[in-house]
Structure 1
Amino acid sequence: MSFFKKLFGGGAASAEPAGDKVLGEESYKGFLIKAIDMKAGSEFQLAGTIEKEVGGELKTYRYIRADRMSSRDDVTALALGKGRQIIDEQGEQIFN
Structure 2
Amino acid sequence: MGLFSRLFGRKETDKKEEDVEPVEYKGFLIYQEALSEGGQYRIAGRITKEMDGEVKTHRFIRSDVLASKTDANEFMLKKAQMFIDQMGDNIFQ
- What TM-score do you get using the length of structure 1 for normalisation? 0.74
In structure 1, C-alpha distance between the alignment counterparts of 2:64 and 2:25, rounded to whole Å = 22
Specify which of 33, 37, 48 is matched with residue 36 of structure 1: 33
Paired residues of 1:33 and 1:48 also in contact (CA < 8 A): yes
Paired residues of 1:20 and 1:37 also in contact (CA < 8 A): no
Structure 1 unaligned blocks of 5 or more: 1-10, 13-17
Residue 46 (1) aligns with residue 49 (2): no
Deviation at 1:88, TM superposition (A): 0.6
Residue 61 (1) aligns with residue 70 (2): no
Deviation at 1:25, TM superposition (A): 2.8
Structure 2 unaligned blocks of 5 or more: 1-8
May I ask how many residue pairs the two structures share in their alignment?
81
Structure ID, larger Rg: 2
- Name the CA shift for 1:49/1:78 in 2 (closer, same or farther; >3 Å): same
Q: Taking every aligned residue pair, what percent have the same amino acid on both sides?
A: 37
Moved over 3 A (4+): 18-24
- What TM-score do you get using the length of structure 2 for normalisation? 0.76
